[in-house]
A and B are shown apart, each in its own frame.
Chain A
Amino acid sequence: MTKFIALFYGILAMLLIAVISYSMQKSEEKFIPSRTIGVVLKAMDSEHWLSVRSGMIQAAQQNNMRLIVITAENETVFAEQNKIISDLLDNGIDALIVSPTNINHTQEFVDAAREKNIPVFSIDEEIAGIAYVGSNNYAIGEKAAEFMIKNLPEGAEVSVISGSANQNAHIHRTLGFVNYIEKNSSLRIGKTMAAETQYRQAMTQAEKLLRERPNTQGIFVTSAIMTLGVIEVADNLMIVGVDTQNDAIMAIKNGKINTLISQDGHESGKLAIEVVAAHLNKQPVEKYNFISNELITAENAEEFLLQEDF
C-alpha cells in the first residue's frame, strides 16, 4: 500500500514539474555575438587576402564574434588605411587586427588603440610591440635558400626580388634568404631588389635584373603575385616564391615555378581570430603566432590546390 502511495506522489510530482516547466517557457531570444573585431587588411586584390578573410569569417562564426573587414585600395595607401583604422577605433570594436601597408606609419594607430584600450594584433606584418600572427618570414627565406642550395650547382649566382621595402614580411624573407645562403653555401648573391608588391613591377624588375646580371641562375621572389610577374620574363631559371595561391600553384604544375613556400591565408586568418578570442577571454597570448610554412613542389601541388576554398 505504501508503495502505491509513493507511486501516486511520484506521478503527482512529475505532473507538477511538467506544469511548472511548461509555465516557465523560455522567451524566444537568440544569442547575439557580443564582440566585434575590426580587421584592416592590406588589400583584397590577391587570392591570399581573400583566403585570409575566409578563414577569419569562419573562425569568427565559431567564436561568436562579428567582423568588420575593411581593406585599403591597395597595399601602398597607408594614409587611407590609417584613416580607416582611426574610424574603426571610434566604432566600438573590441579588438583590432591589422596588416599594415607601411610599417613606418603604424605608431599613430597603435597609440590611438592603446588610448582607447583596444588590443591590437598584427597579421602577416610585424609591428613592434604588437602580437603577431602569420608566417615566420625569416624561416621562409631560409627554406627558400635551402631549396636553392640543394638544387643549384656550387658557385651559382642567385638574386632576390622582394616586395615593398616598407613591409617587414618582405624584409625578413630577404634577410633570411641572404643570410642562409652566405653562411651555408658557396652560392653568390647577385642582387637584391625591392619593388611594389605588384605583378607589373615585379615583371619590370625581373627584366632589369636579367639585363644587369645575365648569369643569374636562381631568383627568390618574396610574394606569389610577384613571382607570377617574374616568370613572364624569366625562363629556365630556378624560381622560388612564397604564398599558397592557386594561380601560382598551377604555375608549379606547369613547371614555370620550381617551388613555393606555402603561406596558407586561411590558416593565418583562422589563427588570428583564435588568438584574439583567447586574449579577449583573458588567456595568455604568445607574442609570435606562426603558421606552418612548407615547400610546395610539383609532387605535392595538388594537395595545396585542394586546400583552398575557391
Chain B
Amino acid sequence: MKIVWNMRLKMFLAALVINVLAIIFAMLLFYHYSAEYFYSEYANSLYERVYIGAKNADAGFQKIYRANLDISFDDDIKTSLASQNYPKIASKLKTYREKNPLADDIYIFMPDKKILIRSEEYNSVQKLDDKDSVAWQNIIDNQSGMRPIFAENILNPAEKKIFLYKAEISGENAFVTTQISERGLYYNFIDDLGSDNSNIALMFDAAGNIISQSRAYSTLNKKDFISAEVEMPFSHFKITLLVNRKKIESKIIFMQILSVLGVIFILILSTFLIYVLSAKLNEPVENLAQIMQDVGHGNFSLRAKVEGNDEIGYLAERFNHMLDNLENEKILKRQAELNALQYQIRPHFIYNTLNSIRFAAMIQGAKNIGELLANFIELLQVSTNREGEFGTLAEEISTLKKYVALQEFRLMNSFAVDFNLAEETLSCRVPRLILQPFVENSILHAPSPEKTFCRIIISSEISNGKLIISILDDGKGISPEILENLSAKPSDKKAHGGFSGIGVSNIKERLKLYYGDSGEVLCESDGKTYTKISIYLPAEVIK
C-alpha cells in the first residue's frame, strides 16, 4: 500500500513523536524519582530500625556502666571490704545483679589478696591462683571509662565471650567488674534486627572488629547488600544491618513493570486521541482540497465550506471569492465575443452597401466612379483585414496602387507615382500597409506653391540579404528640424501641424516589434528638393 503523506498523517506523526518523547521522558523521570524515593525510604526505615536497636543497646551499656560505678561507690560494700565480710559483699552483688538483668555476673577482684568475690550463689568467694589472677588483672586493665572491652571470661569454666566494665573502689585496691555476655546482648538487642533470613546484623567495636553477629559474615559479598550503620555514642560500638538487595530489587522490578505498563497504556490512549484530534483539525483542509480538485475538473458551481475564523477559514473564503470572480469574468468574456462578432458584421454591411452603390454607378454608366469605389472597397478590406499581419510585397504594391488611384482622383495632377521594383523582391514578406503612410506623406506634403507637381518613385531591391524599399519624392523636402524630430522616439514627439508623424513613428514601432534591430526606417532630405524614405527589412521570400 502506498502511503499518502497528507497533512493529517504528517500532523498525526509529528504529534505522536513529540508525545512519545514526552511520555518516555516523563516516565523516566517518574521512575527515577520514585525509585530514588523508594530507596531512600527503605534506607531510612532500615536506619530507623538499626537506630532504635543501637539506642537500646547503648542504653544497656550505660545502665551497666552506671550500676558498676554505683557498686564502686557503695558505702556498705566499702565497709564490708574493710571488715573483710566477703559473703555479705557477695549477697550485695547478687542483689545488684538482680536489679540489672543484662549483667551476666559481677565480680569484685582484689589483686593483692588474689580474692575474687562473685555475684553467684555457689562458690561466691574464691582465692585465685597466680596465673588466673595475673590474667584477669591483664584483662581488666584494658578497660576504663564508658567504652566496654570485649574479652573472654577466663574465670568462668565455659569461657564465654563477654563485655566488661571496671571501676575501682577507692582506697581499697579492689576492682568491681560487671560482665555482659555477648550472647545475652545479642539476643536482647541485635537478634531482632537480623530476624529475617536475608538480613544480617553485626556489631563492630571502635576498631572495626566484629564483636557480635547473627551469622558468618566473612563469606558474604558485600555488594549484594544494602547496609545501615549506626554508631553508638556511649559505647562507641557500631551496629550494622545488611539487607540483601534481592529483597528490594524484586520490588523495584515490579515498579519498573508498572511504569512500562503505564507508558504503554498512556501511549495507546494518547495515540487514539491524537488521531481523532488531527482528523478533526484537518477536516477543513481536506474539504478545501477536495473542492479545489472538483473545481479543477470544471465544476465551477461548487463552493468551499467556510469553517472557523482561522487561516483555513480565510483560505476557503478567498477561494470562494476567486471562484466568484472567475465566473464574472467568464460572463464578461462571452459579452466581449458577442461584441466582436457584431463588429465583424458592420464592415460587411459597409462593403455590401458600397458594392451596391458601385454597381448602380456602373449601370448608370459612371464607370469611373465604379472603379474608384472598387478600389476604395478593396482598400477598406485590407485595412480592416484581421487575418495576417504580413503579405507579399506584390500584394502591398497592389494595395498601394489602389490607394494611389484614389488619391489621384482626389488631387488631380499634383503628383505621379512610378514603380521601380526588382522582380525578386515581389515575393518577399512585408508587414501590411507599411508603404501607404509614407506615400501619403509624399502625396500630401511634397508639393509646394513653387512646385505643384511632384514625382514619387517607389523602388525595391535586395542587398546583402536585406530588402530595401525606398520612397523618393522631388517635393519641398523636410526641414532638418523636423527630420531630427522624426528620428526621435515616438513618445518624445510633439504634435506638429501638417505632418503629424504619427503614421511614420507607428511604422517604426511595428518594425521594431517584428524585427527588432534588423528592421529600420531612414529618412533623408535636403529640406529643398527631395525626400527619401528607406525601409530596411530582412529579405524573406514566401514560397
Contact = CB atoms under 8 A, between A and B. Distances in A.
Q: How large is the interface on B (under 10, 10 to 19, 20 to 34, 35 or more residues)?
A: 35 or more
Contacts of B228: 30
Given A28-B42, A28-B43, A70-B62, A18 B233 contact: no
A80 interface: yes
A212 interface: no
B145 interface: yes
A92 B73 contact: no
B145 A28 contact: no
Nearest to A79: B73
A22 B28 contact: yes
Nearest to B35: A25
A18 B23 CA distance: 12
Contact of A70 (B40, B66, B170): B66
Interface in A96-112: none
Interface string B124-151: 0000000000000000000011110000
B21 A11 contact: yes
A130 interface: no
Contacts of A29: 43
Interface of chain A: mostly helix, strand, loop or mixed:
mixed
A25 B73 CA distance: 55
Nearest to A90: B145
B198 interface: no
Interface stretch (A81-89, A266-274, A277-285): A81-89
Contacts of A88: 146
Given A30-B228, A70-B66, A80-B73, A91 B28 contact: no
A90 B206 CA distance: 14
Given A14-B25, A18-B29, A83 B69 contact: yes
Contact of A18 (B18, B28, B69): B28
Interface string A6-35: 010001001100110110011011101000
A24 B21 CA distance: 21
Nearest to A91: B146
B21 A15 contact: yes
B236 A91 contact: yes
B301 to A, nearest CB: 39
Nearest to A67: B233
A73 interface: yes
B234 interface: yes
Nearest to A25: B36
Contacts of B28: 15, 18-19, 22
A69 B226 CA distance: 31
Contacts of A18: 25, 28-29, 32
A174 to B, nearest CB: 30
B24 to A, nearest CB: 8
A87 B166 CA distance: 12
B47 A30 contact: yes
Contacts of A84: 69
B25 A66 contact: no
B98 interface: no
Interface string A149-171: 00000000000000000000000
B351 interface: no
A252 B379 CA distance: 146
Of the candidates A28, A73, A77, A87, the one having the most CB atoms from chain B within 10 angstroms of its own CB is A28
A36 interface: yes
A15 B42 contact: no
Nearest to A14: B25
Contacts of B230: 32
A68 interface: yes
Nearest to B42: A28
A19 B29 CA distance: 9
A14 B26 CA distance: 10
A91 B145 contact: yes
Contact of A77 (B65, B73, B236): B73
Given A18-B28, A22-B32, A87-B145, A30 B43 contact: yes
Given A11-B25, A80-B69, A28 B32 contact: no
Interface of B: 18, 21-22, 24-25, 28-29, 32, 35-36, 39-40, 42-44, 47, 62, 65-66, 69-70, 73, 144-147, 167, 170, 226, 228, 230-231, 233-234, 236
Given A18-B28, A36-B233, 11 more contacts: A11-B18, A18-B25, A22-B32, A25-B36, A32-B230, A68-B62, A79-B73, A80-B70, A87-B145, A90-B144, A91-B236
25 contacts: A7-B18, A11-B22, A11-B25, A19-B28, A21-B32, A25-B32, A25-B35, A25-B36, A26-B40, A28-B39, A30-B228, A32-B231, A66-B233, A68-B62, A68-B146, A79-B73, A79-B170, A80-B73, A87-B145, A88-B146, A90-B144, A90-B146, A91-B145, A91-B146, A93-B233
Task: Please provide the 5 A-B residue pairs with the shortest distance between their CB atoms, ordered closest to farther.
Answer: A28-B43, A87-B145, A36-B233, A66-B233, A90-B145
